[in-house]
Amino acid sequence: MIDLTNKDLMPNLCLIDGKWCEADQGDRVNVTNPATGEILASVPMMGKAETERAVLAAHSAGKAWRQLTGKSRAEILRRWFELLLANQDDLAKILSAEQGKPIKEAKGEIAYAASFVEWFAEEAKRVYGDVIPEVMPGTRLTVRKEPIGVCAAITPWNFPAAMITRKAGPALAAGCTIIIKPATQTPLTAIALAVLSEQAGVPAGVLQIVNGRSADIGDTLCAHPLVRKLSFTGSTEVGRLLMRQCSDNIKKVSLELGGNAPFIVFDDANLDKAVEGALIAKYRNNGQTCVCANRILVQDGIYDRFAAKLADAVDRMVVADGSNPRADLGPLIDTKAYASVSGMIDEALALGAKQVTKREIHTDPSQRFMNPVVLSGATKEMRVYRDEIFGPVAPLFRFYSIEEAIELANDTEFGLASYLYTSSINTYIQVSEALEYGMVGVNTGLISNEVAPFGGIKSSGIGREGSKYGIEDYLEIKYVCLGGLE
């Protein structure tokens, strides 16, 4: 049981066309706490028929929603933002319970999620078009930006709140309607966000939650001609599939996919700051973020000192149930994730990596909680070099020159986040310009916020979320050529 002040936040139903409803066949799925295995609640398990109904409701509701002024939509979004903050503690409890992240991180995620609603409430009033100087007498050329229409959002379990508001905020601000399919492991936060959107005055059908069978819901959303846009955050594998499915009726797609972030530490870096940055970039959300440092590339001259200092700090991190206020790291999302991360550690050790941290890695027989690890002597042959680790493991790779660091950093199909630590302005310019990534953190391990464009290149995705660019993905450009003027 989650002890909430505002009990209304857990109706444990889906929201379609302004009604809180069960699945047509009454199917339900349990939501469990990854820290304890406790069943927190059950929620409807929907499929094609319910999704189809949601699409029709979204289409119908969109007619009035798009007619509102940006200012009116902004007022509703502003109220939603205020309600999110007013319920921050309860929302964080729900999020932490179903996802596992420490309560302090969960509170931070709710503030981060709310910041997108606030930002896009403000942007709703700034959807500017253009007046283009005419090339023929007697004409006027203008450009208007119009809402794209019904949008679909499919979101992952690692940020159950922020990955939703990063899509719903700009969609609603632009005048679009949105159908959200949250991850099956973390639907309770999505449902709570929807409760508050309703209280804020978001009309029926404008924001809907359909939880259930991902392939059925995904198929329906991608195939339906009334859905004009899909925004997906999740694995590259599922992103590829959805992009293919959207190709039949040429839907606009935004994809926020996997990463393999390099975290480069040069000899001239401030050691303490680099360690502090690595702790944030690697171990936040137990290493389960798309922008997590995956490969820690360390220059020869600072390598041993960095390894020792990072390992010392990592050994002091508190691993505990997310509800424990002292917890730095909670459980991994499930035992499958635990097995996957363990497999990568075992392979790296078998291929010659050495564990620098002192704590034993596996002390929890239930295979939920893993003690964080630093590995030295990692090499290109290991999976930790190629694959997204998604767990509390920092593999350290040694390099000798700037050119080698750039080559290693770019040697991946992914291009989401990257990080570098140096005190040289020349190194900063040379390396940040050479990195084939959508985002570069220089002397910081924390780069995400609502005002900056978040997104990747290569197999990490298409499009940007947050910032002044985030709303563009939900708009179409309409050019009007007015002729025949005297």
Q: Which residues are catalytic?
A: 256, 290
For ligand NAP, the closer CB: 147 or 258: 258
With binding defined as CB under 6 A, does residue 156 bind ligand NAP?
yes
C-beta separation of 421 from 270 below 8 A: yes
CB of 300 to ligand NAP, least distance (A): 30
CB of 279 to ligand NAP, least distance (A): 19
- Range in contact with ligand NAP (rule: CB under 6 A) among 213-221, 305-313, 342-350, 352-360: 213-221
For ligand NAP, the closer CB: 50 or 90: 50
- Which x/- pattern over 411-430 shows residues binding ligand NAP (rule: CB under 6 A)? -----x--------------
Q: Say what the alpha-carbon torsion angle 190, 191, 194, 199 is, to the nearest 10 degrees.
A: -140
Quickly tell me which residue has 């309607």 as its tokens: 177
Cα atoms in the 13 Å half-sphere on the side-chain side of 32 = 11
**Among 479, 478, 482, 467, which residue's Cα sits nearest to residue 126?**
467
CB of 199 to ligand NAP, least distance (A): 25
User: 12, 36, 214, 444: which one contacts ligand NAP (CB under 6 A)?
Assistant: 214
- Range in contact with ligand NAP (rule: CB under 6 A) among 97-105, 171-179, 254-262, 394-402: 254-262
- Which x/- pattern over 355-394 shows residues binding ligand NAP (rule: CB under 6 A)? ---------------------------------x------
What is the C-alpha separation between 17 and 57, in angstroms, rounded? 5
CB of 264 to ligand NAP, least distance (A): 20
Cα atoms in the 13 Å half-sphere on the side-chain side of 122 = 10
Neighbour count for residue 449 (Cβ, 10 Å): 13
What is the C-alpha separation between 7 and 26, in angstroms, rounded? 23
User: 256, 321, 450, 473: which one contacts ligand NAP (CB under 6 A)?
Assistant: 256
With binding defined as CB under 6 A, does residue 187 bind ligand NAP?
no
CB of 271 to ligand NAP, least distance (A): 29
- Range in contact with ligand NAP (rule: CB under 6 A) among 29-37, 151-159, 197-205, 265-273: 151-159
CB of 304 to ligand NAP, least distance (A): 31
Cβ-count burial 289-317 (b if 16+ within 10 Å, e if not): bbbbbbbbbbbeebbeebbebbbebbeeb
- Range in contact with ligand NAP (rule: CB under 6 A) among 232-240, 267-275, 279-287, 365-373: 232-240
User: 51, 99, 115, 155: which one contacts ligand NAP (CB under 6 A)?
Assistant: 155
Footprint (CB under 6 A) of ligand NAP, residues 85-104:
none
For ligand NAP, the closer CB: 40 or 269: 40
With binding defined as CB under 6 A, does residue 238 bind ligand NAP?
yes
Write out the two tokens for 485.
């003027």
For ligand NAP, the closer CB: 15 or 127: 15
What is the C-alpha separation between 355 and 427, in angstroms, rounded? 30
**Among 314, 65, 48, 56, which residue's Cα sits nearest to residue 174?**
65
Backbone angles phi, psi at 396, to 5 degrees: -100, 125
State how beta strands 439-442 and 417-421 pair.
parallel
With binding defined as CB under 6 A, does residue 266 bind ligand NAP?
no
With binding defined as CB under 6 A, does residue 21 bind ligand NAP?
no
With binding defined as CB under 6 A, does residue 290 bind ligand NAP?
yes
CB-based closest residue to ligand NAP:
218
CB of 465 to ligand NAP, least distance (A): 7
User: 218, 322, 392, 395: which one contacts ligand NAP (CB under 6 A)?
Assistant: 218
187 Cβ neighbours under 8 A, 6+ residues apart:
31, 43, 98, 209, 211
CB of 82 to ligand NAP, least distance (A): 26
What is the C-alpha separation between 225 and 211, in angstroms, rounded? 21
What is the C-alpha separation between 16 and 57, in angstroms, rounded? 8
With binding defined as CB under 6 A, does residue 448 bind ligand NAP?
no
For ligand NAP, the closer CB: 233 or 376: 233
With binding defined as CB under 6 A, does residue 462 bind ligand NAP?
no
Measured CA to CA in angstroms, residue 369 lies from 8, 25, 99, 107, 449 at distances of: 31, 36, 13, 21, 29
CB of 222 to ligand NAP, least distance (A): 8
For ligand NAP, the closer CB: 192 or 257: 257
What is the C-alpha separation between 29 and 16, in angstroms, rounded? 18
Q: What is the helix (H) or strand (E) element at residue 414, kind and residue range? A: strand 414-415
Q: Say what the alpha-carbon torsion angle 373, 379, 385, 390 is, to the nearest 10 degrees.
A: -10
With binding defined as CB under 6 A, does residue 184 bind ligand NAP?
yes
**Among 363, 354, 272, which residue's Cα sits nearest to residue 310?**
272
C-beta separation of 455 from 117 below 8 A: no
- List residues near ligand NAP by CB under 6 A: 154-159, 163, 181, 183-185, 214-215, 218, 233-235, 238, 241-242, 256-259, 290, 388, 416, 456, 461
